Amino acid sequence: MPTEQNSLVRDIELNVGLKNIARIEIPQFITYNIKYTLFDWQKSSLQHFLAYENPDNDIISETYAPTHLMFNMATGTGKTLLMACLILYYYKKGYRHFIFFVNQNNIVGKTEENLINQSHPKYLFKQNIVIEDKTVFIKKVNTFLNKTDDIQILFTSIHKLHNTVYAIKENSVYLEDLQKKDIVMIGDEAHHLNADTKRKNNQTEFYLPSLLNDKASEADIEKSWEDTVINKILYKGKYNTSEKNNNVLLEFTATVPNNETVKEKYRTKTIFSFDLKEFLRAGYTKEINLVSSTFDRKKRVIQALLFSWYRHKIALKYGISNFKPVILFRSKLIEESKKD
């Protein structure tokens, strides 16, 4: 039986056994309806998930709480394909309403193309999705229809989701409507979902503005992720209830914040972990060398330029004509990137 001290991943592996998990077959309604063959780690993540979902394995304790899971997987491991598989799984289970959200509009658009646009080269499903001899359609929506047999996905950023729920008076009806439905939420870059968890650790004031604009601070965005998504939608505004809550939140991130309270939060939610070190060992990504420096920001920029210039000279020396060095400067916080 699972113990309170173990992580969810460990509980699953102890309860079911690694060999038994590896024998779990991915359902054909998933493998036949996605365009690409699953990598070993994608298959393993689904096997862990299916082991967790199997009521015979006695992993899920009796509770009225919604399902809340985390997939901690490195960038480049194919998280979006895994999302596509899970959408098919929950559709087969009876769900029709899905929300995909992230903190940046450009990521929303990219994922939308992968899941909706059949003419896009990186579209992840087969041209015709067939489940139980029935053709299933995936539709992008702004509001959910009550009666539908399609997969309806609301693509949104945290700004838009927050403002839709809070900004306009009439949208209180919209929130009420969401709280009546069983919804599968998929959160990418989910390490932002922890402002309230961090607050509980240091007891700082938790103020959330009623409107978020495109220049909203990262702190306010984090607060809204946790309050809007967790409190208002996932838990339907009710933490204590005698009614079963069938909502689902699937979080995806490459990085869990280095915060003890947040780590403890995810200890019982992380269903699979495949970090950058494991991805490198699998041999499916480029080798990465990390170079640290104690210089200030200006000197670090100069250092990066010198590294790039040196690599360019080496490439010319050995006749490497297609060498194209690229330098990306990234701010740690959104506020920093807005400064001159």
Per residue in 12-67, pLDDT (tens digit) is 999 999 999 999 999 999 999 999 999 999 999 999 999 999 988 877 776 788 99
Confidence of residue 297 (pLDDT cuts 50, 70, 90): confident
Of the pLDDT bands very low, low, confident and very high (cuts 50, 70, 90), residue 207 is low
Strand order in the sheet with 183-187: 138-140, 151-157, 97-102, 183-187, 248-253, 67-73, 270-274
| Max CA distance (Å), the chain | 72
Residue 107 pLDDT exceeds 80: no
User: Which of 64-73, 168-177, 276-285 is modeled with the greatest confidence?
Assistant: 64-73
Task: Please compute the mean of the pLDDT values over residues 74-83 and round it to a whole number.
Answer: 92
Q: How confident is the model at residue 90 (pLDDT cuts 50, 70, 90)?
A: very high
Element (H, E) at 196: helix 195-202
94 pLDDT above the threshold of 80: yes
Query: Which residues are CB-contacts of 215 (< 8 A; sequence separation ≥ 6)?
Result: 338
